[in-house]
Chain A
C-alpha cells in the first residue's frame, strides 16, 4: 500500500519537474545548434531521457493525487 505524499516530497517533485523541463529545452537547443556530431548525438539522447524523467514525475503526482487528504492532518 502506497503512502500519502508529504508536503516536502511534493516540493521536491515540483522543483524536479522545473529542472527536467529546463534541461529538455536546453538539450534540444544544444542538439540543434551544436556542430560536433558526437556531442549533438549526446544532446539528442538527453532530450529523450529528460522527457522520460518528466513523465515519471508527472505520473507520481497523478498516483498520489488520489490518496491525498482533503483536510489538513493533525
Chain B
C-alpha cells in the first residue's frame, strides 16, 4: 500500500493498530511485574494504576479492531473438550477438598498450648 500524499510504501491501518496492540499487551505485563517487585507501597500503587489504565486501553483498541474485522480471535472450543476439562477439574476439586479436610483434622489433634489458654481460631 502506498501513502497517498508521499507515494512511499506505508503500513496499513491494521498493521499500525496491531503494532500498538502488541506493545500495550507487553507493557501491561511489564507493569504487573514492576508492581510485584516493588518495595515502596506508593510505587506499587503507581505501577498497579498504570497497569489498569494500560489494560483498559488494550481492551478498547482490541474492541475497535474486532469491530473493523482486523482481528482474528481464536476459534470456539468444542463441547467435548470443555466436558473433558470440566470432569477432570471436578475430580481435582474433590480431591483437594478432601486433602484440606485431612490437613485441618491433623491440625486439630495438636495438643492445646502449654499456657492452657483457649485459642479457638475465629473461623471455627
Contacts and interface: CB of A to CB of B under 8 A. Distances in A.
Interface size class of A (residues with CB under 8 A): 20 to 34
Binding site of A, secondary structure by majority: helix, strand, loop or mixed? helix
A38 B13 CA distance: 11
Contacts, number: 95
Interface size class of B (residues with CB under 8 A): 35 or more
B110 interface: no
Given A5-B40, A9-B38, A33-B10, A39 B46 contact: no
Contacts of A43: 16-17, 20
Interface of B: 3, 10-11, 13, 16-17, 19-20, 23-24, 26-27, 30-31, 33-34, 37-43, 46-47, 49-50, 53-54, 57, 60-61, 64-65, 67-68
